[in-house]
Structure 1
Amino acid sequence: MIKNLTRGLAALALALTPLTAAGPAQAAPAVEPMLLADAVAALPVAEESRAGYTRTSFKHWNAGLDPADGCNTRAEVLLAEADVAPDVAPGCRLSGGAWSSYYDDQEVTDPARLDIDHMVPLAESWDSGAAAWTAARREAYANDQGAEPSLVAVTARSNRAKADRDPTQWMPPAPGAHCRYLTEWVATKLRWGLTVDPAERDALVGRAENCPAALVHFTPSP
């Protein structure tokens, strides 16, 4: 199943007024949708380096879009992506609800069994350009609710199987998810101006051949 359509509407609204860690930022114009093959060709190619990376370089699961509601970014993504809304207790404790994990085509009714995956993992983003960013920009990246593909609720098992791998090394176990996953991976890299290494570029080019009509939609990050 696809994600709840309300997530798409929420992401569209957020894209019009994107946020940084410091608050509202000037919206960038959306880029015309591109065929996946053309979007892959638009990605800059560079060698990767993980030198100096630590996960703590990316402050994540911050106070979210409305600090007053007690929900951090993780909880807000769960609320936005729910097919059936969970109960919300004081302190934004979630229980019940239902979600579709598109990586492995699983239905989940316990929010504790879900992870919020960074479409392009934090370590991969570091390798691909985020090492040169400010701490504020890395925080904005790690909590990006301004674009639907950036953060996705999936089963903990699939997220941990993916870890920090790129599409050279890992693809969702559900075959029907592959084209969507590729468009969202490429959209996230283009949104944030991240590079691909030669092996990753070659893998994306090859996999894109199986998705000839797939379109990539993205808005450049603030």
Structure 2
Amino acid sequence: MDFVSIMKFRQWIIGLCLLCLCSSVTFAQTVEPSDTQEQPPAPVYNYKEFFTVDEDNLESATTAGPEYGHVMAFSPMFSADQFVQAVKVLVVNLLRWTLHNELVQEPPERYMRKLHFGRWINDPSDDTCMNTRARVLVRDNLGDLTFRNGKQCIVDTGLWNDPYAGKQVTTSKEIQIDHMVPLKNAYMSGAWQWDYKTRCLYANYTGFKDHLISSDAHENMSKGDKAPDKYIPPNLAYRCTYLRNWLAVKLIWGLNMTPSEVQAIHQTVVNYNCNPKDFRFTKKQLEDQRNNINDNLEFCMQNR
């Protein structure tokens, strides 16, 4: 089943958890375990309260995005009503959340980066020896770029704006590539249910620019695997954007949020007067992202 199909059936699968639990209990009562065969640990289920971004109740909004540039000027071909209608699109409101209180299975394994998400991947199809980290450094560089050992594989120096601390960094040794939603947070928020190739793609995903961030190493270590209830960037000018991008990643990948996480997001949006219009994600953007994920599910498998 591809990623798009997984997202469509996600809620249906969760709804079956209770039935599965009951069935497993019945089975355990009627079948004697073998003395010679080691039995796998029984799945652990708990009722949990969590939130997801509500992608089902779409809103209508007017946009001036570049994809609608061909209708962004009045002409004899368009009446005023036609013009307004032409730029109206369906959007997901990232600040509208759905509360769930359901029986869910706990991750059967504790989080381990290399086991569950793999490593930075070197994609040979781009005709370079750069891995994902190097490609992001090149993408975000604003100055003259240099490489180590005379080979264009490992980035050495350049100029990067760290949005978290709001400062500039000139050496790659002081840069870490941060996952906007950290790998452990993603794992605990639902990624543990994915197969390895989907998790590895998540770890190396460059299809959404704000999925991977070139950040100051010290600041990224301060963030760690924390959600917004435990960490908010010290750069005040970036806080609203940070929350918008956090929610966008959670939406794209269908990840859960804890009650304290959404409470912290709500409070920060209110405290810093974040513009609600900035917290919109068009239906087309969401479809494009999920199609891109689905099209690249074999990325890690092809480049091991």
**Aligned positions, number:** 191
**Residue matched to 2:226:** 165
Match among 104, 116, 122 for residue 183 of structure 2: 122
Matched, 1:215 2:279: yes
One-letter code of the match for 1:63?
N
Structure with more helix by fraction: 2
Deviation at 1:203, TM superposition (A): 1.6
2:132 alignment partner, one of 48, 73, 78: 73
Within 2, Cα distance between the matches of 1:158 and 1:54?
22
Is 1:131–2:192 an aligned residue pair? Answer: yes
After superposition, give the CA deviation of every residue in 1:123-162 in whole Å (9 maximum; x if it has no partner). 0000100011100000000000000111000100110000
CA distance in 1, matches of 2:222, 2:105: 21
Aligned to 2:264: 203
Aligned pairs for 1:5-24 within 5 A = none
Matching residue of 1:55: 113
Q: Structure 1 98/45 Cα, relative in aligned 2: closer, same or farther at 3 Å?
A: farther
CA–CA distance in 1 between the matches of 2:215 and 2:95? 26
Mean CA deviation greater in 42-51 or 100-109: 42-51
Aligned to 2:209: 148
For structure 2, which runs of at least 5 residues remain unmatched after alignment?
Answer: 1-65, 67-88, 295-304
Letter in 1 for 2:279: L
Change (3 A) 1:168 1:73: same
RMSD (CA atoms): 2.5
CA deviation vs aligned residue, 1:173-203 (integer Å, no higher than 9, x gap): 1111100100110011111111101111222
AA partner of residue 201 (structure 2): A
* Identical amino acids, percent of aligned pairs: 30
- 1:97 match: secondary structure: strand
Structure 1 residues 134 and 43, CA gap change in structure 2 (3 angstroms): farther
Unaligned stretches of 5+ residues in structure 1: 1-11, 13-30
Compared CA separation, residues 168 and 70, structure 1 to 2 (3 A): same
- Choose between structure 1 and 2 for higher RCO, CA contacts under 8 A separated by at least 6 residues: 1
Q: TM-score, normalised by structure 2?
A: 0.57
The whole-number CA distance in structure 2 between the counterparts of 1:187 and 1:72 is 25
Could you tell me how far 1:216 is from its partner in structure 2?
4.0
Aligned to 1:26: none
